[in-house]
A and B are shown apart, each in its own frame.
Chain A
Amino acid sequence: MTLRKARITENNQMRADKPPEPERDSDRLQRLYEDNLHVIYRFIYSKVGNREEAEDLTSQVFIKAVRTIDSARGAASIQSWLFQVARTTIADHWRSFYQLRAHSLDDLLEAGWEGPAESGAPPRIEPPNDRVNRILERLPDHYRDVLICRFLQNLSIKETALRMGLSEANVKVLQFRALKKAGRLDLEGL
C-alpha cells in the first residue's frame, strides 16, 4: 500500500541509495574526524585556553589533514600524524601571538609532549588535566588555592578574594605568581 510505502525509514532509504563503492574516502574521514576531534580539540584548547581560537585552529588542523591525507600513510597512526599537524599549526599561531624566537617556541611546544617526534614511535601526549594535577601537587598552598578557585572552580576575582580572605589586588598578584611558577614546573616536566 502507498501508506506503508511512505513510511520508509531514513535508514532504509540510505541503504537503498548507497552504491557499494570501493572508494572509501568517507571511512578515512570518519576515522580522521569522529575518532580524533575531541582529543585534538582538547590538546589545542590547552594551548590557547579559549574557544574562539581553539575552534579556529582545530578547523585549520582538520582541513590541512584532509587535504594532505595521503601523507599520513607513513605515520604510525592517524592520530599521531594529526598531533603533528596540530603541533605545527600551534607553532605558527604562537609565532605571531608571542613574537618569540624559534628556540623559545620549541621549549613551549615540548611541554606536555613526551617522546620524540620521530617516525615509528608515536608521541605520547599527556592529557591536559593530568598535567594540571601534576603541577597543582607541586605548588605551594597559596598558589594551588588561587588556581583552583580561578580555573577549576571558575570563580571571579571577587569570589576568590572572599574565599581566600585576600584583597582583590592581592588575588591578581597571587594568580600571576602561581601561573609563573606553574609555567616553570610545566617546562621542567615535573
Chain B
Amino acid sequence: MGSHDDEDNLISPEDAKGPNAETVEQYLRLHDHIERLREDKTPQKPGKVTSEEARTYQAAALFRAATPGAAEPSPAFASSLRTRLEHEIGASSPARALRAARGGVSRRGLLAGGLGAAAAAAVGVAVGSTITHESAKPPGSWQTTLIGDGAGMWLAVATVGEIPLGGVKRFATDAVVGFVRHTSSGFEALSGACTHMGCLLSWNAGARTFDCPCHGGRFNENGKAAPGSPVAYSPLPLIKAKVEAGTVWVYIAKSPMEDATTTPSNNPNGYRNP
C-alpha cells in the first residue's frame, strides 16, 4: 500500500518521459504480439529489438505456455510428425529411398518399424498393393472396386445377425482390412485404408465417419471424402460383398498362403456392387 513498488505499477505520466520512456507503440506492438500468441499463430517479427525487449517477448511466450492446454502437441501433429520421421528413416536406405521416390511404401520396411501409425500404414499398404494404379490418379469422385471378378476369393467376415441396420463392422484378413456396412439396401464393404497414405481408418460411430489417425482424413459412411478432411482424398475403394447362408462374404485378394479356399459364388444373394 503506497509503497514505492506499488507506485511503480501505477500508470503515471512520468512513464512517458526519461531515457527509458515507454511509448504507446511499444504497448500496442506487444499487445498485438500477445493476441497472435493467444490465437496460436506466428506473430509478426518485432523488428530490431533491444535485448530487454526480446526478454519481454520471451516472457510473453513463457506465460503463454502456461495457458492451460496450450503447450501440448495436438494428436494430429504428433501422428503426422511420426509419419514424416518414418519416411525419413525409410529414406536412409537406398532401396527404400527408391520406393519412396516412386511414391510407394515398403510394407516390410514399415512393418519392421513397429510404430503404431507405421504399423497401421503397413497393413493399409497390403491393400494398397492391389490399388496402386488408382492411388496414382488425382482425387476424384468416382469409387473403384478393390478386386475385380475372378481375381480374388470370397471370404466370410460376419454373420448377418451381428451387424444391425446402420451398423458397421471392421474385418481384417491377411490381405485386407475393411469395413462391412449394413445399409438400407443391403450389405456393402469398403476398404479400411486411407487413400492418402494407407493408414488404417477407424469408424467414428458418433459422426458416422471413417477417420484417419495420420493426417486427419475423413470419409463418410459411403467412403467419400467428408467435411473436415484436410483434403478431399479419393473415395475408399469398394469391396464386393454378398450375403449367403446368413453370412456376409467379401471378395478379397487371394492370400499367397492358401490355395483353393474360394467359396462357390453361384448364388450372389444380396450381393450388391453399385
Contact = CB atoms under 8 A, between A and B. Distances in A.
9 contacts: A3-B247, A6-B157, A7-B157, A19-B112, A141-B6, A147-B63, A182-B62, A183-B55, A183-B58
Task: With a 10 A CB-CB cut-off, give which of A41, A97, A151 has the most chain B CB atoms.
Answer: A151
Contacts of A147: 63
Given A50-B41, A128-B71, A152-B66, A172 B28 contact: yes
A87 interface: no
A100 B49 CA distance: 7
Interface string A81-110: 000000000000010111110001001100
B8 A47 contact: no
Contacts of A190: none
Given A49-B61, A50-B43, 9 more contacts: A45-B64, A46-B65, A47-B62, A52-B42, A55-B77, A67-B88, A107-B51, A129-B66, A140-B6
A8 B172 contact: yes
Contacts of A33: 81-82, 85, 115
A71 B113 CA distance: 21
A151 B42 contact: no
A170 B67 contact: no
Contacts of B74: 51
Interface string A29-51: 11001100110011001111111
A18 B34 contact: no
Given A13-B172, A45-B71, A176-B22, A108 B62 contact: no
> Which residue of A29, A132, A141, A143 has the most chain B CB atoms within 10 A of its CB atom?
A29
B36 interface: yes
Contacts of B27: 172-173, 176
A148 B258 CA distance: 66
A59 interface: yes
A137 interface: no
Contacts of A131: 62
A147 B272 CA distance: 63
Contacts, number: 247
B204 to A, nearest CB: 18
A148 B222 CA distance: 48
A163 interface: no
Contact of A19 (B46, B64, B108): B108
B99 interface: no
Contacts of B15: 173
Interface of A: 1-3, 5-10, 13-14, 17-19, 21, 23, 25-27, 29-30, 33-34, 37-38, 41-42, 45-55, 58-59, 62-63, 66-67, 94, 96-100, 104, 107-108, 111-112, 128-129, 131-132, 135, 140-143, 147, 150-152, 154, 157, 170, 172-177, 179-180, 182-184, 186-187
A63 to B, nearest CB: 6
A8 B114 CA distance: 18
Given A6-B157, A151-B63, A14 B55 contact: no
Contact of A140 (B9, B62, B112): B9
A186 B9 contact: no
A180 B52 contact: yes
Contacts of A29: 85-86, 89, 113, 115
Contact of B58 (A58, A152, A186): A186
B156 interface: yes
A10 B123 contact: yes
B38 A154 contact: yes
B138 interface: no
